[in-house]
Amino acid sequence: MRHFQQLPDSQAAMLFHRIPAEFTRNSPPDQLAVALGATLYAPAIRPNLADDLARCHRDGLMSLVCCLEDAIRDDEVDAAEVNLAYQLRRFADAGSSRFVAEGGDEPDGPLLFIRVRHHDQIYRMAERLGDAMRVVSGFVLPKFRPDESGRAGVQAVHDIAAATALPVYAMPVLETPEIAHAESRLETLIQIRQLLDRFRDRVLATRVGVTDLCGWYGLRRPAELTAWDLGLISTTLTDIINVMARRDRTGDGYVISGPVWEYFTGGERVLKPLLRESPFTEHDPNGRVLRRKLVRDALDGLIREILLDRANGLTGKTIIHPSHASAVHALSVVSHEEYSDAVVIAADANGAGGVLRSAYANKMNEVRPHYAWAQLTLLRARMFGVAAEGVSFVDFLDASVDRELVA
């Protein structure tokens, strides 16, 4: 599987300087963590979940979470477990039979995760799934704490991976009041980092539950604002990144996903739309149609939040609607300018340092402080590709978004 595989080859050839690389469930975890991209959450109780997973993957989603926690009611848990096991077995069997019949290999994707309520569900779902565990890439651990419950969760994932010899990973979600509250936040984050470091090979990425963090204060961001515009949340996210993503420790920091975007469409507006017109009209006289659709669907706020996520060190994003994936993935493609700078900086493998002039003649590239950025940028370039010279994120949006006229 690879990102933008839904695009025709001729269109991809015009958009990309370098096509995204293919990857599998067995690819190195640092690649998979970046390749998650837009991660769609779906309730595990959905009666046609197997078909939904296949359709979303065909449309370009590479990672999905089947939720047994907040997305379902408390009285639905038992039925949701049974349904999820049935649906994932259907999904696994359909893939096997289809590709065997065509003389090919079983499809390798998307990356599927199960969000559990308690670590016991990890063992139980693995037992229910049996051989169908081969289509599951891991488990999402909500409300993660550095206590026995958190340790039991990552230990369960470790046990399942060892027992099945499959690449099964944990993705803890940071969203508890101990993280929200200033007096306990740093100590809690440091303890979480220490716990996860003990299971580093089984932790794919960490996720941030901004909806829960807002809930502890009775907050909810409107579609016109981003998580970074809420002072309490911005401070919390900054501390999470400081502890979990830093690259000055043994090994690399953890990939941290961007917070969920909650809106399907925009409501009443007080502020002006967040998208300038010029990027949409410079190369396409009909670009205003695309821009109007994005503004109508509140995707201008999503786009701004994605940009702020990346500027602050977050990678990918949790989504609750497939239409959000196009914006996440379009903004994940590495620009030709970024790639040119990263290649030059990363070429200084011996760490000789110095300052280099950008190939675009608009900035300096200081090798030592920009080296980690260059490595991360090249990894993103591998998983999401490099835009052709003169091609912008608008072109990738245009290729992915349904441009229906707005009345």
Secondary structure letter of residue 36 according to DSSP: T
Give the integer Cα–Cα distance in Å for 53 and 62. Answer: 10
Same domain, yes or no, for 325 and 365? Answer: no
Same domain, yes or no, for 341 and 353? Answer: yes
pLDDT tens string 272-318? 555 555 555 565 655 555 555 555 556 788 888 999 999 999 999 99
Mean pLDDT taken over the chain: 87
Average pLDDT over residues 239-250: 83
The pLDDT value given to residue 370: 86
| Residue in this structure with the two tokens 């961007």, named with its chain if needed | 258
Same domain, yes or no, for 323 and 349? Answer: no
Same domain, yes or no, for 349 and 281? Answer: no
Q: pTM of this prediction?
A: 0.89
Same domain, yes or no, for 273 and 311? Answer: yes
Domain boundary among 298, 316, 332: 332
Give the integer Cα–Cα distance in Å for 171 and 163. Answer: 19
Check: CB of residue 158 under 8 Å from CB of residue 201. no
The pLDDT value given to residue 118: 96
- 382 confidence band (pLDDT: 50, 70, 90): very high
Same domain, yes or no, for 150 and 177? Answer: yes
Q: Which domain holds residue 44?
A: 22-332
Same domain, yes or no, for 271 and 382? Answer: no
The pLDDT value given to residue 248: 64
SS (H, E, C) 218-241: CCCCCCCCCHHHCHHHHHHHHHHH
- 99 confidence band (pLDDT: 50, 70, 90): very low
Give the integer Cα–Cα distance in Å for 382 and 18. Answer: 8
The pLDDT value given to residue 351: 57
Domain boundary among 270, 299, 332: 332
Same domain, yes or no, for 249 and 344? Answer: no
Same domain, yes or no, for 223 and 361? Answer: no
Give the integer Cα–Cα distance in Å for 324 and 332. Answer: 13
Same domain, yes or no, for 41 and 124? Answer: yes
Residue 169's contacts (CB-CB under 8 Å, 6 or more residues apart) are 29, 32, 137, 138, 139, 157, 161, 202, 203, 204
Same domain, yes or no, for 180 and 305? Answer: yes
Give the integer Cα–Cα distance in Å for 233 and 268. Answer: 23
CATH classification at residue 160:
3.20.20.60
Cross-strand partners of 172: 141
Annotate 165-186 with b (16+ C-beta within 10 A) or e (fewer).
ebbbbbbbbbbbebbbeeeebe
Instruction: Identify residue 309 by its one-letter amino acid code.
Output: D
- 60 confidence band (pLDDT: 50, 70, 90): very high
SS (H, E, C) 362-378: CCEEEHHHHHHHHHHHH
Asked whether the predicted pLDDT for residue 250 surpasses 50, the reply is no
Dmax (CA) for the chain in angstroms is 62
Residue 150's contacts (CB-CB under 8 Å, 6 or more residues apart) are 141, 144, 172, 192, 195
* Number of domains present in the structure of the chain: 2
The pLDDT value given to residue 76: 95
Asked whether the predicted pLDDT for residue 127 surpasses 80, the reply is yes
